[in-house]
Amino acid sequence: MRSRGVIARVPAKVNLQLSVGPLGSDGYHEVTTVFQAISLFDDVSVATAAIGNGLTIDISGQTSMGVPVDSSNLAIMAAELMIKNYDLPKDLAIKLKKEIPVAGGMAGGSADAAGVIVGLDSLFELGLSRDEMESIGSQIGSDVPFSICGGVAIGTGRGDQITPALAKGTYFWALALSGQGLSTPAVYQECDRLREGLSISTPQVSESLMQALRAGDAKALGKSLTNDLQSAACSLRPALRLILDVGVDYGALGGIVSGSGPTVAFLVSSEEHAMDLTVALSASGVVSSVVRASGPVSGARIIESF
């Protein structure tokens, strides 16, 4: 039997706002977040395989180091759930070509799960709606629904209830990467520790941020970036404060830890500005590498069938 497959391309994300509410009894925090999908991509290939081969995964690309190849990999979890829900063949070959940093606060693992869901929907012509795919994605991880949706969107609940938002213009980013990732649960725990004894209410979407996005005003957006996990990420990784200071000193419109970190995302005014900031951050010696990206871009989409 000839193998048939598709390749889905899936973007990374930054959180323009990440407001963390109280810890619920399910172990998750109620969040209000605004996501933007940016132009760093994982390519996720899913293909049929010979009977008896089972579910296999092959991982390559710039950021493939340290990605698990067992069932803790979100792509495998997503494939297993899709196989169970839709009675799909169990012999499938997944290939990840990774560009999104691992454990960097940019939804790299979630992107791979999103690629598998969208890829299998296309390969087996399941005809699932975006809502259906997002609801499957939310069972895998809180960021998976946004990786399917892309663009700019508001996330509520665990961050998995997605509402697309109006945004004008293109935004440019310089992203300071760290050699070593941060664990999302550890950052949330540190956030709880830092806020112990405070009364925490349900967060609201920032009106100034949404206004900046509607106007396509990068300068105003830079001033409106907020992340409640930033103090926690900096507490666990103090060097992040230094990186934030360097970026702002060198003229970034705004700087923020992305999600649970440790990637630091700097909003800049143009591609040239991103290049200037890249040079400054690299020369400062406090950053291991810098990549540039722009957003918003679309969510998981099929780029090839074979």
Residues taking part in catalysis: 13, 143
By CB under 6 A, residue 261 contacts ligand C5P: no
- How far is CA 84 from its chain centroid? 26
Q: Which residue is nearest to ligand C5P (CB)?
A: 142
* Per-residue tokens: 220: 């105003």
**Run of H or E including 76:** helix 74-86
Closest approach, Cβ 230 to ligand C5P, in A, equals 15
Cα(154)–Cα(245) distance, integer angstroms: 28
- Angle subtended at Cα 217 by Cα 213 and Cα 222, rounded to the nearest 5 degrees: 85
By CB under 6 A, residue 141 contacts ligand C5P: yes
Q: Residue 35 or 171: which CB sits closer to ligand C5P?
A: 35
Binding mask 101-140 for ligand C5P (x = CB under 6 A): ----------------------------------------
Candidates 25-33, 51-59, 61-69, 284-292: pick the segment binding ligand C5P (CB under 6 A): 25-33
By CB under 6 A, residue 97 contacts ligand C5P: no
**Which residue has 């404060």 as its token pair?**
241
By CB under 6 A, residue 29 contacts ligand C5P: yes
Which one of residues 10, 31, 165, 229 is an interface residue with ligand C5P (CB under 6 A)? 31
Rg of the chain on CA atoms, in Å: 19
Q: Residue 21 or 61: which CB sits closer to ligand C5P?
A: 21
Q: Residue 104 or 141: which CB sits closer to ligand C5P?
A: 141
Candidates 42-50, 95-103, 181-189, 279-287: pick the segment binding ligand C5P (CB under 6 A): 181-189
Cα(299)–Cα(118) distance, integer angstroms: 10
Closest approach, Cβ 175 to ligand C5P, in A, equals 20
By CB under 6 A, residue 184 contacts ligand C5P: yes
**Run of H or E including 215:** helix 207-215
Within 8 A by CB and 6+ apart from 96, the residues are: 42, 43, 44, 45, 57, 58, 59, 60, 61, 64, 67, 75, 112, 115
Q: Residue 63 or 110: which CB sits closer to ligand C5P?
A: 110
For residue 167, which phi and psi values (nearest 5 degrees)? Answer: -145, 145
By CB under 6 A, residue 159 contacts ligand C5P: yes
Candidates 22-30, 55-63, 232-240, 272-280: pick the segment binding ligand C5P (CB under 6 A): 22-30
Cα(45)–Cα(302) distance, integer angstroms: 9
Size of the residue set binding ligand C5P (CB under 6 A):
12
Characterize 78-110 residue by residue with b for buried, 16 or more Cβ atoms within 10 angstroms of its Cβ, and e for exposed.
bbbbbbeeeebeebbbbbbbbbbbbbbbbbbbb
Q: Which residues bind ligand C5P (CB under 6 A)?
A: 27-29, 31, 141-143, 158-159, 184-185, 188
